[in-house]
Structure 1
Amino acid sequence: MNIEQLRDKQGLTEVEFLQKYDASIYQRPSVTVDMLIFTVVDEEKENYRKLSEKSLKLLMVKRGVHPYIGQWALPGGFVTENESIDEAALRELKTETNIDDVYMEQLYTWGDVNRDPRTRVISCSYMALVDCRSLEVKAGDDADDARWFNVRYSVLEEKKTMLEKDLIFEKVVKITLSNDEDILEAIIKVIEKYSGKTARVEREVIVSNGIAFDHAEMIQYAVERLRNKVEYTDIAFNLMPELFTLSELQQVYEVTLGKELLSAAFRRKIADMVMETNQFTKDAGHRPAKLFRFNPNWRYL
């Protein structure tokens, strides 16, 4: 059967249908991209004998245009008609922050009807965990500023409710973003409803100080996804130099996961991911520690 000759109820072939098709019969929402770029950096250390403290940071841009002018937002912008969503994400990240050639994964699609005061906007968010030492962040396009913010994620309340057929988890999360000049805060309520084999998640921003749009929701979701990826993938090694100590690697895991880890359990967990070398650290004030490198073939062991 020649598919091209099949006719619909109006007697039209596909070619004839497309020739007559009126794209204006449906309202078309605008589409944007928003990027969550995380990194882990060393903070200044007071005692040279100790490892530098590390902190999880997120890249934000200060809006120079309405709406939310003067507030901080995730880097992002509108997708044009002649580019893919992935291409738009790379372009917007470059024009707003000067960051180029970063591998990003699609995170989630945000489509609440009133999420943008300008018009109906659907946003596809992306996430990356990068080594910021090789990046030169510089604001551009409609951004007044671009800066890294320390990320603090804390659960204020948790509640579990058992109904006849449903299980409901509720939690209230506080997100604090800070640097030397600004402190941004948001409180988000997350409700997870499980009914049989189906699950539904709802998020509501209760308080948002200085964070534009619904980006506080995106940040909350991204932190949870990032922690999940760190637990079950090798994404944390994006932040490591070619040679590293296991203590340095454990610090990266701890700051990303937001909790301390038992050294013995951690070393068992990552044993297949690293390869021992014959080299040692030579830092003054420290006992020599063995250096390791990432094992790219760990998945096949």
Structure 2
Amino acid sequence: MPYTYEYPRPALTVDCVIFGLDDQTTLKVMLIRRSLPPFQGQWALPGGFVHLQESLDEAAQRELQEETGMTDVFLEQLYTFGAPGRDPRDRVVSVAYYALVNLAEHPVQAATDASDAAWFPMDALPPLAFDHAEIVQRAIARLKGKVRYEPIGFELLPQKFTLSQLQKLYETILGQLLDKRNFRKKILKMGLLTELDETQANVPHRAARLYQFDEQAYLALRERGFNFEI
């Protein structure tokens, strides 16, 4: 016989804040339009209830795939939200995650309880269901902090990128201009980029050299005590 608890138990959900960078100039968040109550027709973060036989990470990955069609993306646990009344259906605790994706490589598609899915600029988000506006703000703060000391920003770039694109990524996320000479000197000195024998194609200006992030080099350096810092 299953054990019967003396006290009621809250339901458990996961919610995902998915960040994407549009041409390295606009930080965007992917939202879904709910097709079911509560908040039917309103925009919300992708998410849903955790199944009994799955871990939190598995639930977050499943919800991402079911509601947006996304798979194999950077995904990290963010924070737990459990204020009473945050969900009008029941006592619900949500474990939030944030994801970083390259927009060109991860088109979105609405599914399950979502009637639509779309990218919105961070500074022009519509009203959000539940407490999702608070979750988004928490995710932005985490991204701005972590991008300075871990190379997670490369998840937002195409596989091959220019140094200008890389600098613009950091300027967009941090909301501040960086000195071009100092930025390039610092990032190249780290030894984390592989310079390719390729340049940009089909651009209206002089084609710039392309680079790739060397994840194996980063992991090896980290084992030896290397600290990434922008």
- Please indicate, yes or no, whether the TM-score normalized by the shorter chain is above 0.5: yes
Q: Deviations over 1:20-59 (max 9, x none)?
A: x8432121100000011101012xxxxxxxxxx6211111
Of 15, 31, 38, the residue aligned with 1:34 is 15
Give the corresponding residue for 1:25. Answer: 6
State the structure with more CA Rg: 1
Aligned to 2:149: 232
Which structure features the higher share of helix residues? Answer: 2
| Greater alpha carbon shift after TM alignment, 210-219 vs 87-96 | 87-96
1:268 Cα shift?
A: 3.3
1:4-34 Cα distance to aligned partner (Å, 9 max, x none): xxxxxxxxxxxxxxx8x84321211000000
Q: AA paired with 1:24?
A: Y
Q: C-alpha distance in 1, partners of 2:161/2:52?
A: 45
Q: Deviations over 1:223-274 (max 9, x none)?
A: 1111112111111111233332211111111112222211123223322132
One-letter identity of the residue aligned with 1:291? L
Change beyond 3 A, Cα 1:95–1:253: same
Partner of 2:218: 298
Which amino acid in the other structure matches residue 119 of structure 1?
A: D
Q: How does 1:1-301 map to 2 (within 5 A)?
A: 22-42=3-23, 54-152=25-123, 176-177=124-125, 184=126, 210-271=127-188, 272=190, 273-296=192-215, 297-298=217-218, 300=221
Q: What TM-score results when the alignment is normalised by the length of structure 1?
A: 0.67
The answer (yes or no) to whether the contact 2:64–2:71 under 8 Å persists in 1 is: yes
Q: Can you list the C-alpha shifts for 1:138-187, whole angstroms capped at 9, x where unaligned?
A: 111111111111112xxxxxxxxxxxxxxxxxxxxxxx31xxxxxx1xxx
SS of the aligned residue for 1:105 comes to: strand
Gaps of 5+ in 2: none
Unaligned 5+ runs, structure 1: 1-18, 43-52, 153-175, 178-183, 185-209
Partners of 1:80 and 1:284 lie apart in 2 by 48
Aligned amino acid, residue 14 of structure 2? V
Match of 1:3 in 2: none
1:196 alignment counterpart: none
> Counterpart of 2:99 in 1: which secondary structure?
strand
Alignment-mate amino acid for residue 181 of structure 2: A
Residues 141 and 278 of structure 1, relative CA distance in 2, 3 Å threshold: closer
Q: Identify the structure with bigger relative contact order (alpha carbons < 8 Å, sequence gap 6+).
A: 2
Secondary structure of the equivalent of 1:145? Answer: strand
**Contact 2:102/2:158 (CA < 8 Å) preserved in 1?**
no
Alpha-carbon distance between aligned partners in 1 of 2:50 and 2:218, rounded to the nearest angstrom: 38
Give the Cα separation in 2 of the matches to 1:103 and 1:23. 38
Q: How far apart, CA to CA, are the structure 1 residues paired with 2:201 and 2:115?
A: 43
TM-score for both structures, normalised by structure 2: 0.87
Normalized per residue, the structure richer in strand is: 1
1:292 is displaced (CA, Å) by 2.2
C-alpha deviations, 1:98-143, integer Å up to 9, x for none? 2123231100111111211111100001111111212231111111
| Shift of residue 283, structure 1, vs aligned partner | 4.1
Mark the CA change 1:109 to 1:240 in structure 2 (over 3 Å): closer, same or farther.
same
Segments of 4+ in structure 1 off by > 6 A?
A: none
Give the count of matched residue pairs: 218
Does the C-alpha gap of structure 1 residues 67 and 263 become closer, same or farther in structure 2, counting only changes over 3 Å? same
Report the Cα distance in structure 2 between the residues aligned to 1:91 and 1:261, rounded to whole angstroms: 38
